[in-house]
Amino acid sequence: MKVFTLQLKNEGVTLTAYLPDSSSEMPHMSSRRAILVIPGGGYRMCSDREAEPVAFKFLAKGYAAFILRYSLCENAEFPKPLNDAEEALSVIRQNAAEWGVNPEKIAAIGFSAGGHLTAMLSVAGRERPNAQILGYPCILEKISDILAKPIPGADKLVDEKTPPAFIFASAEDNVVPIENSLKYAGVLDQHGIPFEMHIFQKGYHGFSTAEESVYDKDEHRAYNEDAAAWVDLCLRWLDKLFGRYV
C-alpha cells in the first residue's frame, strides 16, 4: 500500500492518501471505489478518532481512502473549509487513473463538524462526491454556537444535484441534537434525494467506529457498542449504490 500526504493550497491543509496495491489476483480491484474522510472537531481540530480508524474500515473492504485535514480555528470561516474539500475531491479525480480510483464512485464521509463540511461539499461544492455519509452531523445554522466560526445551514442548499446520503446519529447525543440529522433528511426527502438514516438510541457524541480502540475510557465501549453497526450498514448501502465491484 502506498501512503503519502499532499499539502493543499490553504495553510496547514493536507490530504493523506492510502492506496492499496493492485494485483492480478484481484482483478476487480484494478479501479477502486474511494472514500474521502473528513473528521470532526468543531472546526477547532480534526479528531484522530474519526480519521484513520474510519479510513481503515473502508480500506479493508477494498476502497482507496483519503483523509482531509482542513482549515481550522481562525481560518475556519466559510467558504475556506469548503474550498479545501473541493480541492481534495478535485485532486482525487484528477489523479484517479494513476491512483487506481474510479472517479465516479467517490463517497465523502464526515463526522460532527466534518459532517457539516461533507454536507456542504454535497450541496454547494463545485466538485461534489457521488455519495455523502454523515455521522452525527452539524447541519443547521443555529448549531454555530458550539463551533469555531458561524456556518451556513446545509439544509438550505439541497438541490437536484445533491448526491444520495447515508446518515447515522445517536438519540442521546447532547452535543449535536438529532434535529440536525432529521431536518436534513426531511429536506432530502422533499427534493427526492435518496437517503438511508439510522438513529441509535444510545451513543455519546463522537462515537466514531464505536469500538474499544477509539475510546479513552472503558465504559464508552459498552455504551456505544450497538452504534458500531453503522459501518456494515453503510458498506452494504454503498454496495447497492456503487455496485459490489468497480
Residue 27 above 70 pLDDT? no
Cα→Cα distances 42→72, 110, 165, 190, 229, Å? 9, 12, 21, 28, 24
pLDDT value of position 228 = 94
pLDDT tens-digit map of 148-178:
999 999 999 999 999 999 999 999 999 999 9
For 139-178, b/e burial (b = at least 16 CB within 10 A) is: bbeebbeebbbebbbbbeebeeebbbbbbbbbeebeebbb
pLDDT value of position 189 = 98
pLDDT tens-digit map of 177-229:
999 999 999 999 999 999 999 999 998 899 999 998 888 777 677 778 899 99
- C-alpha R_g of the chain: 17
Mean pLDDT of 108-131: 98
pLDDT value of position 179 = 98
In this prediction, residue 114 has a pLDDT band, given cuts at 50, 70 and 90, of very high
Residue 10 above 80 pLDDT? yes
pLDDT tens-digit map of 181-191:
999 999 999 99
The whole-model pTM stands at: 0.96
Residue 231 above 60 pLDDT? yes
Domains of the chain: 2-242 (3.40.50.1820)
Residue 29 above 80 pLDDT? no
pLDDT value of position 11 = 94
For 37-73, b/e burial (b = at least 16 CB within 10 A) is: bbbbbbbeebbebbbbbbbebbbeeebbbbbbbbbbe
**Residue 26, amino acid:** M
pLDDT value of position 246 = 53
